Amino acid sequence: MDELILRHLAGRATDLEARRLERWYAESAENRRRVDELRAVWVATGTDGGSGSPSGEPPPLDWIVATAEGRRRKAEGAERRRTIVRSPWLVLLGTAAAAAVVVVASPGDAPREPDVRLRAVETATGSSDVTTMSLSDGSVIRLASASAVEFPVVAGVRAVDLSGRAFFAVRPDTLPFVVRTAAGEVTVRGTRFELFEDPGGLRVIVVEGRVAAEGHGGSVLIVAGQVARIGTDGVPMVESNVDVWSLLDWEGGLLVFSETPLGQVVAELQRRFGVPVSLADPSLAGRRITAWFGDDSLDEVAEAICLVAGVSCETRGGGVRLGR
């Protein structure tokens, strides 16, 4: 939860992530006690508000802890303040719905430049041991059972090492997003795709955007609606005019979005639930949505999507209509 709070405080959390954070805040007195402690830390350190490190990324947790400890040693105060400052939670959330700030260094205490290692900030396990991860850059991975991912540090890219099968919803960024497997690797900027690695090679299914795939025998560009296979010879082969959704046989369906246009979200809701889903205003189709779901019902999914999109939802004859 600490990573998610940092993302929220730095203004990088999605609306749906903020909603989850609000629910966490309301869940227990212990959670609220932590928030009260953070507020006390903020007052005790006397730090001015800020929005994160100079790069726009949330400051690393170890740097935040070191900065607070340095301020504690220099500050004069009561034992209560010294005890609070030792907390590893050195961020402030004013209220569950309020704007907040992150501890930043003074001009003489510049933080180290953060690396680009991805991290899982929220993880949920659903049916058949399928795991969904929200990453520190805002991307989402749905990982099949008996599969694994690692997040190495690779200069200049957001890197993931995959063994097995996973669906990726990559948040657009200036840094490329690279997934490496034993059979080959793919590079994207922001898109949605599935990778399935087995002893026979690597299958790439693209449902949105473009993916560059490379094996030791060549490279290829794959667009939405295409499937590529990299065999044991390392040569990518592309298939077009494929019903890609028939290949995405994830139990409980596959609703994973990252900056996905609302018009496309509506089409996928309709496909997933088999009922009419429409937009009251076509101009809403380009609104971007970041959210993911497991075995949720249509009502639950529609409510969350409408919340993120900032529109109303209306149920009509078994279908859903999204409007302003």
DSSP string of 36-83? HHHHHHHHHHTPPP--S-TTSSPPPHHHHHHHHHHHHHH----HHHHH
Task: Please check whether residues 147 and 218 belong to one and the same domain.
Answer: yes
CATH value at residue 226: 2.60.120.1440
Domain count, the chain: 3
- Residue 110 in domain: no
Does one domain contain both 238 and 157? yes
96 in a domain, yes or no? no
Instruction: Tell whether 72 and 174 lie within a shared domain.
Output: no
Shared domain check, 67 and 7? yes
Segments forming the whole domain that contains residue 29: 2-85
What does the alpha-carbon distance between residue 82 and residue 75 come to, in Å, rounded to a whole number?
Answer: 9
pLDDT at 182: 92
Whether residue 109 is contained in a domain is answered as: no
In a domain, 93, yes or no: no
Q: Walk along the chain (324 residues) and give the pLDDT tens digit of each residue.
A: 556 665 565 566 666 666 666 666 666 667 666 655 555 544 444 444 443 444 444 444 444 444 444 544 554 443 333 333 333 332 333 333 333 333 333 444 444 444 578 988 888 887 778 899 999 898 999 999 889 999 999 888 999 999 999 999 999 998 999 999 999 999 998 899 999 998 889 999 999 999 999 999 999 999 999 999 999 899 999 999 888 888 988 876 789 998 899 999 999 999 888 889 989 888 889 888 888 888 788 888 888 888 888 888 888 777 898 886
Question: Does residue 19 sit in helix, strand or coil?
Answer: helix
243 and 135 in one domain? yes
Residue where one domain finishes, among candidates 85, 110, 141? 85
- The answer to whether residues 243 and 126 belong to one domain is yes
Give how far the C-alpha of residue 50 lies from the chain's centroid of Cα atoms, to the nearest Å.
23
Domain boundary among 247, 267, 293: 247
Of 69, 85, 101, which marks where a domain is finished?
85
Alpha carbon distance 320, 302 (integer Å): 8
Q: Are both 202 and 133 inside the same structural domain?
A: yes
